[in-house]
Chain A
Amino acid sequence: MVVEKIDIDREDYAKKFGFHDDEEYVFKAKPGLSREIVEEISWMKKEPDWMRRFRLKALDHFMQRPMPTWGGDLSEVKFDDIYYYLKATDKKSENWDDVPDYIKRTFDKLGIPEAEKKFLAGVGAQYDSEVVYHKLREDLQKQGVIFVDTDTALRDHPDIVKQYLGTIIPPNDNKLAALNSAVWSGGSFVYIPEGVRVEVPLQAYFRINAERAGQFERTLIIAEPGSYVHYVEGCTAPIYTADALHSAVVEIIVKKGARVRYTTIQNWAPNVFNLVTKRMAIYEDAVGEWIDGNLGSKMTMKYPACYLMEPGAHGEVLSIAFAGRGQHLDAGAKMIHAAPHTSSIITSKSIAKDGGRTSYRGLVKVYPGSVDSRSTVRCDALLLDEESRSDTYPYMEIDEDRVTIGHEATVSKIGDEQLFYLMSRGLSETEAATMIVNGFIEPLVKVLPMEYAVEMNRIVQLQMEGAVG
């Protein structure tokens, strides 16, 4: 097994993101999950009693529920081997100079402090279980914007956290959400006051460092009426022979007339199980958007959801998934129309090569009485060779007649004629295939801020070169 996993390493990923630091943890819990571990995490974090009980109850849910079998193959997730809590430093800093050198070097290599200087309004950086750096621009602090890690939020803003945490995704929602609720650590807490527009993105970067690490960040975003925020998350991990587990929960509340865009550029190492629950509740005339770039990981199961709660709510999911050798990306979206005049758009693009597998799995649900609602689903899959595979599982539960629902799905293969056309213009076979792939994902890339568009194209290029070469 070990040999097989080394075989799926991508050389270029290894060079760029695959490095790791020696483990110098101030605290590392024993592997495996138990009541004691959960108690210990809560105790170390000096949490209020309600959170300790929240965690323990969630642990019960986790223990009782069977593994989901409807999606990807999760039989290789070794819950007993995972380290559930790894704390590299006692300090949480607002200044990169105070971050331990070796951790700062990691984030330097990933380009985070540089990006912060250039084009971000705030940055959070999480290293295994704990956030090591968090900073928000001062003018935004003065406007009442809160952007801190969720542990700090629990300490400094306990009332807001208690009011909202677990209301959009309750701990018993699914097995992995229960796991996150039991052992969560870090993540971002974002609060945008009424009418405040944060015009440049806030970014959080999630880095797994240790072998067999579990990362369970918990993110909560609250956008008060008329506010706007664009939140971006990036993720990478070193390449190990043993598997790591990333299982986040992201809850977002978009109040009347507000707009939240949540962009993910995930580029996990090919030994990471990425099992994430993400959901937004969107209220009157508000807009919620998930822009979801899924690259890397061994297995991803992720279906960002929009609950359209009041008239005029609009939800959108735009996602790409790129699966290479040994990878299965099972990604999609959920749109729940629970009020009249709500609208949703799902656009899914997937690419599979070298025997990789992508699945689109999506649900559009319209409750009775949600009249004049509209939903459009479009899934396009691109296969780069004969061994790769793509499947589409679109579910529709429409319990109202006065609605407009559209669904379109295509699967295409990169054709010899297309390749020949581009190669006859001097492009090598890899360059030609990369150009076709970049064109395929252009509808997604063009809505990203320029810096991320460049990053996305670069990651795609790495992925293309990694396997062809």
Chain B
Amino acid sequence: MAEQPLFAVEGLYVSVEGKEILKGVELTVNWGEIHALMGPNGSGKSTLANCLLGHPRYVVTAGRVLFKGEDVTKLTADARARKGMFLAFQYPMEIPGVKVRHFLRRAVKAVKEKEPPVTAFRKLLFEKMGVLEMDRSFADRYVNEGFSGGEKKRNEILQMAVLEPALAVLDETDSGLDIDALRIVAGGINALSGPHMGILLITHYQRILNYIQPDFVHVLIDGRVVRSGGPGLAAELEAKGYEDLRKEVLKGVS
């Protein structure tokens, strides 16, 4: 029997408030792989990201999501997180009054089902913050409250670093970052990646792929993965733009 893929999306149809956004998405991520999912605005990228973690607003009308061979399509977000799935949000929410370190400790406790010892956890947290070039005072700030765009994205990767998921879905983690922040965030993601996990990197631009080398690139247009290929596909897209590809696809359909 062949080795189970880490993660597979099979014929996924998803609606939001009665409107069909995803129309049969197919995607497989194996252990150790980095996949880039690219697409123009409105193609369904964020819908896919939110749906993969079980956002209640996104209704799966057909197809399924498999994680380590298990059908997780009907599980709630917390159950998926405890199984090792993670989403870095495009727009992380503010949680006023809750300190980053308290939040992370609770999250680690929930995901690993074991309370991390205070001192060991602090050491781990500061170490990971060091990689992301975050000041230690960050740990005592309220989650995302008053954070700059770059700080929010770093905070997402920090969460990924301490939760150590098997699958990380990164939803436009590069958007809103200046070049220095992009380098730091990408460095953090590279440091975390490896054969113990898989990454689905969702992005509009090719820019972040200069820092993170994907094994595969997929293009999502109008709710379907219309092209898949190696890293070269990203460069091709950057040169031609999505519009050419969309025309090609439409031609193919007609």
Decide yes or no whether A422 CB sits under 8 A from chain B: yes
- The residue of chain A having its C-beta at the shortest distance from the C-beta of B143 within the complex is A439
Between-chain CB contacts (< 8 Å), 29 pairs: A416-B56, A417-B93, A418-B95, A420-B50, A420-B55, A420-B56, A421-B92, A422-B103, A423-B81, A424-B53, A424-B81, A424-B89, A425-B81, A425-B110, A426-B78, A426-B81, A426-B111, A428-B78, A428-B110, A429-B78, A431-B110, A435-B98, A435-B106, A438-B97, A439-B95, A439-B96, A439-B143, A440-B97, A442-B96
**Does A436 touch B at the CB level, under 8 Å?**
yes
Query: Is the Cβ of B89 less than 8 Å from the Cβ of A421?
Result: yes
Say if the beta carbon of A245 comes within 8 Å of chain B: no
Which residues of A sit under 8 angstroms from B55, Cβ to Cβ? Answer: 420
Q: How many A-B contacts at CB < 8 Å in the complex?
A: 76
Interface centre among A417, A418, A424 (most CB of B within 10 A): A424
Residues of A near B93 (CB, < 8 A) are 415, 417-418, 421
Which residues of chain A are within 8 angstroms of B80 by Cβ–Cβ distance? 424
Given A421-B89, A424-B77, A427-B106, also A435-B95 (CB < 8 A): yes
Q: Which of A413-469 contact B (CB under 8 A)?
A: 415-418, 420-429, 431-432, 435-436, 438-443
Within 8 Å CB of B53, what residues of A?
420, 424
Chain B interface residue count, CB cutoff 8 Å, equals 30
A415 to B56, CA, bound (A): 12
**Which are the 4 A-B pairs with shortest beta-carbon distances?**
A439-B97, A442-B97, A426-B110, A439-B98
Binary interface encoding of chain B residues 70-87 relative to chain A, with 1 for a CB under 8 A from any of its CBs, else 0: 000000111011100011
Given A421-B89, A442-B96: 17 more A-B contacts, CB < 8 Å:
A416-B56, A417-B93, A422-B95, A423-B78, A424-B77, A424-B86, A424-B87, A425-B110, A425-B159, A425-B163, A427-B106, A428-B78, A428-B110, A429-B76, A431-B110, A438-B97, A439-B97
Specify which chain A residues have a CB less than 8 angstroms from the CB of B57 in the assembled complex: 416
Given contacts A420-B56, A420-B77, A421-B89, contact A426 B107 (CB under 8 A): yes
Determine whether the beta carbon of B82 is less than 8 Å from that of A426: yes
Contact of B106 among A418, A420, A421, A431 (CB under 8 A): A431
Closest to A444 in B: B97
**Out of B54, B96, B107, which one reaches A425, CB within 8 Å?**
B107
Complexed CA–CA distance, A438 and B103 (Å): 11
Q: Which residue of B has the minimal Cβ distance to A412?
A: B96
- Residues in B with CB closer than 8 Å to A420 are 50, 53, 55-56, 77
Specify which chain B residues have a CB less than 8 angstroms from the CB of A421 in the assembled complex.
89, 92-93, 95
Whole-angstrom CA separation of A439 from B110 in the bound complex: 18
**Closest Cβ of chain B: how far from A434's Cβ, in Å?**
10
